[in-house]
Structure 1
Amino acid sequence: MRIRATVAAVTGALALSALAVPAAQAADVSGVSGADYREAVAKIRQAAHTPSGATAFSTKAAQDEPYALDASFSNFKIAKAVKVGTTGHYSTTVTYTLTHGADVDITAQDFLTGPYLYRGAFATPDTTLFGVKPATCTTATATTATCTGKIDIYPGEGDLLNSDSGTWKGAALAIAYNGQDPEGETFDITKVGYADQGALGTTLVQRNSKLTVNAAPEPVQKNKTLTVTGKLTRANWETGKYAGYSTQPVVLQFRKAGTTNYTNVKGIKTNTTGDLKTTVKASVDGYYRFQFKGTPTTPAVTTAGDYADVR
């Protein structure tokens, strides 16, 4: 779930309609009736941080703030990159260590923890991405546990803007509801414990790329000109389609028939619509392919080889 930062005050029952989650993605929070995990944690997180960037919650909770839960996070591990297309569901698994005070019951039905990603300042992020379910934890010692959770992304439902591609920071949170139901009329947030921690790691959330190649004519006479064309495209999260990636360096490679290794032939760049076109002299049978090495916003991609029959 992509959640944009707001500066509105969070009061009462934390009624933030902007944080609503499509029912198709909803995952009920165990022990918290009627609440969706992503919506619930986003509300508690926003209540715990002030717009100024300072952490609002403390060991003695103020009105409309959770109290500081005795919990911290370490050993955060996530994939180096998450390639996201235009539709469907994408996820990446995160593992981390949860360390907590002896008085924190992480086995309680309404204790929740999970990883998330954010861009911008930790306390006032530009946007965040959560999982649809909380993490699961295995007790290691009386005060530590190893946890595994996921970050879930639905690009077709507005989770990402094109400008969101690039580096995201990793974080983790924990909530002890202590019997409080956030959907109930008597919900008291000051009795809810909350802890979170940012800058635990980084990952790239990238606009998935596609690349094509075609060598023509087929067959081609020996020592005649062979034209190799193709197109480099990447996901546009805002239109739900793939679009040409302009002025990007791509390498044409060749593998002689009967061999296994490709060698570089020449480097070219895509035009303003992502198209590729170059020529070579046909000398022997073999396979031509294009290779794009990628950028922080767009993953590397290599085509399969296109066979050229030289006669």
Structure 2
Amino acid sequence: MRIRATVAAVSGALAISAFALPAAHAAGSAPSYRTEAAKLFAAHGDRTAFSSTNGTAATDLGVSFSNLKIAKAIKVGPTGHVSTTVTYTLTHGANYDLTSDDFDSGPVIYKASSITNADLLGGVNPATCTATSSTTANCSGKIDINPADDLINSDAGKWSAGALALQYSTGNRSLQGNLGTTLVQRNSQLTVDASPEPVQKGKTITVTGKLSRANWEDGHYHGYAGQPVKLQFRKKGSSTYTTLKTITTSSTGTLKTTTKATVDGYFRYVFAGTATTPAVNATGDFVDVR
């Protein structure tokens, strides 16, 4: 599940063009993190001009965020749910009670250049914050991603990270970006098959395989064309692979090359990865040389 909003300029203001709501963070009459986060994401880009829950101008809470840590990369397959943990320090006024149902915080990521005009991804639930002083807390929350709902293929690449804080009773809130970066990547798969098996020493071995990556728009893996992939060999009894050559995937992501049989060992393909697609190694295929 996710928190997501696409914000766009409309007649001098900003409005949601797409939004899907995750489950509320508490039962009964407790404030809904998803609802208040939605209002924040839809708010005017000028943080001093937010509209509050009662229709009056909302103000920034004066909450700030620092020391944000997020994974270097988030690998997202074609289907399913992926989450990653984000930690950060929250600094607030001494009058805020972080244990109150009236106050919540959570991490967000966004691909736009500015968080005030961005498509935001967040967590199903607010972060858990532990006070370290009367005005600071260490927080840990999740970014939840469902590719079918949250992503299109062009979203792959670098995203920025930030955090938000909400006070439900007033509708006031804080939103801060540029606290870190991560790569949201289309997960990759790589296969290898060396044949014939067994093979006579000195004979030719044909090594085939395929490099694929997730397509978030149709929910399947498809071949990744035009990518350099290394063919490597590890002698039986050794723990070290040696690169034999580099070849390029076909228009359908397939790989095919030949090499000479010398000794027993394992062949594998290795892809170094790109900003949009993670590195991956095929599981070595053993060839018995006689």
Q: TM-score, normalised by structure 2?
A: 0.91
Q: CA deviation at 1:223?
A: 0.7
Give percent identity, aligned residues only.
Answer: 55
**CA gap 1:124/1:226 in 2 versus in 1, 3 angstroms:** same
Instruction: Note the 1:22-171 alignment, pairs <5 A.
Output: 26-30=22-26, 33=29, 36-47=32-43, 49-50=44-45, 54-57=46-49, 63-156=55-148, 158-171=149-162
Give the letter aligned to residue 132 of structure 2: A
Q: CA deviation at 1:16?
A: 5.9
8 Å CA contact retained: 1:115, 1:149: yes
2-11 or 293-302: bigger deviation: 2-11
Secondary structure of the residue aligned to 1:174 is strand
Instruction: Name the Cα RMSD after superposition.
Output: 2.5
Q: CA deviation at 1:39?
A: 4.3
Q: Is residue 238 of structure 2 the alignment partner of residue 259 of structure 1?
A: yes
Give the letter aligned to residue 71 of structure 2: A
Counterpart of 1:244 in structure 2 is 223
Q: TM-score, normalised by structure 1?
A: 0.85
Give the letter aligned to residue 82 of structure 2: Y
Of 230, 254, 269, the residue aligned with 1:275 is 254
Of 204, 210, 214, the residue aligned with 1:225 is 204
Give the letter aligned to residue 84 of structure 2: T
Supply the distance in 2 between the matched residues of 1:247 and 1:17 (Cα, whole angstroms). 36
8 Å CA contact retained: 1:118, 1:125: no
Supply the distance in 1 between the matched residues of 2:72 and 2:221 (Cα, whole angstroms). 23
Structure 1 unaligned segments of length 5 or more: list them: 179-190
**CA gap 1:65/1:272 in 2 versus in 1, 3 angstroms:** farther
8 Å CA contact retained: 1:206, 1:296: yes
**CA gap 1:258/1:123 in 2 versus in 1, 3 angstroms:** closer
8 Å CA contact retained: 1:44, 1:66: no
Counterpart of 1:186 in structure 2 is none
8 Å CA contact retained: 1:61, 1:68: no
Supply the distance in 2 between the matched residues of 1:134 and 1:61 (Cα, whole angstroms). 19
Of 170, 175, 200, the residue aligned with 2:166 is 175
Give the letter aligned to residue 40 of structure 2: I
Q: CA deviation at 1:43?
A: 1.7
Supply the distance in 1 between the matched residues of 2:243 and 2:151 (Cα, whole angstroms). 36
Secondary structure of the residue aligned to 2:132 is strand
Cα shift readout 1:32-70 (whole Å, capped 9, x = no counterpart): 8486533430322322x33xxx43437x99955421102
Cα shift readout 1:185-225 (whole Å, capped 9, x = no counterpart): xxxxxx32211110000000000000000001111111111
8 Å CA contact retained: 2:36, 2:166: no
Across the two proteins, how many residue pairs are aligned to each other?
A: 287
8 Å CA contact retained: 2:66, 2:88: yes
Cα shift readout 1:93-114 (whole Å, capped 9, x = no counterpart): 0000000012222221121100
Instruction: Note the 1:293-308 alignment, pairs <5 A.
Output: 293-308=272-287
8 Å CA contact retained: 2:193, 2:209: yes
Q: CA deviation at 1:6?
A: 2.9
8 Å CA contact retained: 2:41, 2:120: no
Supply the distance in 2 between the matched residues of 1:205 and 1:70 (Cα, whole angstroms). 30
**CA gap 1:243/1:204 in 2 versus in 1, 3 angstroms:** same
Supply the distance in 2 between the matched residues of 1:15 and 1:253 (Cα, whole angstroms). 53
Supply the distance in 2 between the matched residues of 1:216 and 1:258 (Cα, whole angstroms). 20
97-106 or 230-239: bigger deviation: 97-106
Secondary structure of the residue aligned to 1:28 is coil
Secondary structure of the residue aligned to 2:289 is coil
